[in-house]
Structures are given as structure tokens and as C-alpha cells.
């Protein structure tokens, strides 16, 4: 029993006196509980930080990828137009090649030649490059239309170009159409 003084005078309390050993166990338990809570909070904070860093890296990669795709889209935006213009260029070249040499058609042929040159210059300014086929056959840039037995050339050499190829800023738009040499057939006696 303990005696407590308050404003009304001394009073007697029936509360048990605190045992010092019970207090130590309670403190140790509290310290253990707080240590476990701190470890859990630290692990949770570490997970959140790791997730934040991953999300941040993913966002940066997304931004870079979008910038790269946007630049590529702008760089190749004219590709459909160029594809549609190539047959027109081919027809102008055919007209120039088959123009009569007489005086009556010379002025028209010269006009077509100037239009063709102007069109090719415009395409070149916009990144279109003509692929002239010669030398060894390259399946990445040439389309073989025929194989021609040829004794003077080694196999897989371009013999003749039917249609030139074109690329836009390094990307193939149309392969050059060519004939390719092959070994002549061996004649048996």
C-alpha cells in the first residue's frame, strides 16, 4: 500500500508497487518491438526507393525512345511521297532515253530532261539517293530479275540494270532491278 498526497490530504492507494524487474522486461520488450518496427520501416523505405529508381529509369528510357522515334518519323515522313514519285521519275527517264534525235523533238526532249534533272535534284535535297547497280550482286540493294550466262564475268556480277534503286536517308526504298551473271553451261561432247 502506498500513501499519496493530493490537495485533499493524504490518500491510500491499493495499486501494487512497481517491480523493477518487471519494468526492465517491459523496456527490453519495447526496445525489441521498436527495433523490429524500425527494421520493417527501413526495409519498406528501401523497397520504395528501389521502386522509385526503377520507375524513374523506365521514364527516362521512355522519353529517349519517344524522342528517337519522333526523330525517325520526321526523317522518313516523306517516304510514301517518294515511293509514289519514283514511277514518275522512271517514266521521265524512259521519255528522255527514247526521245527522237531529230530537230522536231529535240526541244521537247530537252524540256523533259530539264524536268527530270530538277525532280532528281529536289529528291536529293530531301535525302533521296539513287543506287546505281554495278559490280557484285548485293541482295540487300539489288533485286535479281534474271540470270545471264556470261563467260567474261565471274558469277554473281551485275550485268545490266533495268531500273535504278533508291534509298531515303540510308533506308532502302526500292531495290535496283538487275540481271546477274552466272557460269555458262558446260558443254558436254
Q: Total structural domains in the chain?
A: 3
Same domain, 112 and 87: yes
The C-alpha atoms of residue 184 and residue 59 are separated, in whole angstroms, by 61
Same domain, 103 and 64: no
Same domain, 119 and 135: no
Same domain, 143 and 189: yes
Give pLDDT tens digits for 3-61: 555 555 555 555 555 555 556 668 888 899 999 999 999 999 999 999 999 999 999 99
Pick the last residue of a domain from 42, 75, 108: 75
Same domain, 168 and 119: no
Query: 34-38, 65-69, 135-139 — which is least confidently predicted?
Result: 135-139
Instruction: Note the residue count of the chain.
Output: 189
Contact 2, 17 (CB under 8 A): yes
In the block, cell 491510500 appears at: 12
Same domain, 118 and 139: no
Same domain, 105 and 155: no
Instruction: Provide the residue range defining the domain that includes 117.
Output: 77-126
**DSSP code per residue over 80-116:** HHHHHHHHHHHHHHHHHHT---SHHHHHHHHHHHHHH
Exposed (0-12), middle (13-18) or buried (19+): which is 122, by Cβ within 10 Å?
A: exposed
The C-alpha atoms of residue 101 and residue 119 are separated, in whole angstroms, by 23
Nearest to 184 by CA among 160, 143, 153, 161: 153
In the block, cell 528501389 appears at: 50
Split at pLDDT 50, 70, 90, the class of 182 is: confident
Amino acid at each position: 500500500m502506498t500513501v499519496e498526497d493530493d490537495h485533499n490530504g493524504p490518500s491510500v492507494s491499493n495499486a501494487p508497487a512497481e517491480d523493477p524487474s518487471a519494468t526492465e522486461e517491459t523496456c527490453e520488450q519495447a526496445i525489441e518491438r521498436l527495433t523490429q518496427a524500425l527494421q520493417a520501416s527501413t526495409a519498406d523505405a528501401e523497397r520504395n526507393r528501389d521502386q522509385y529508381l526503377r520507375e524513374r529509369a523506365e521514364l527516362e528510357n521512355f522519353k529517349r525512345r519517344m524522342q528517337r522515334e519522333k526523330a525517325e518519323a520526321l526523317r522518313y515522313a516523306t517516304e510514301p511521297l517518294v515511293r509514289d514519285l519514283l514511277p514518275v521519275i522512271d517514266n521521265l527517264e524512259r521519255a528522255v532515253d527514247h526521245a527522237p534525235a531529230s530537230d522536231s523533238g529535240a526541244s521537247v526532249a530537252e524540256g523533259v530532261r530539264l524536268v527530270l534533272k530538277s525532280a532528281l535534284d529536289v529528291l536529293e535535297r530531301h535525302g533521296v539517293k539513287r543506287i546505281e547497280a554495278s559490280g557484285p550482286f548485293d541482295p540487300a540493294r539489288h533485286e535479281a530479275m534474271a540470270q545471264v550466262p556470261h563467260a567474261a564475268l565471274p558469277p554473281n556480277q551485275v550485268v545490266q540494270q533495268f531500273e535504278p534503286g533508291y534509298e531515303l536517308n540510308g533506308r532502302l526504298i526500292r531495290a535496283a532491278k538487275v540481271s546477274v551473271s552466272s557460269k555458262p553451261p558446260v558443254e558436254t561432247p
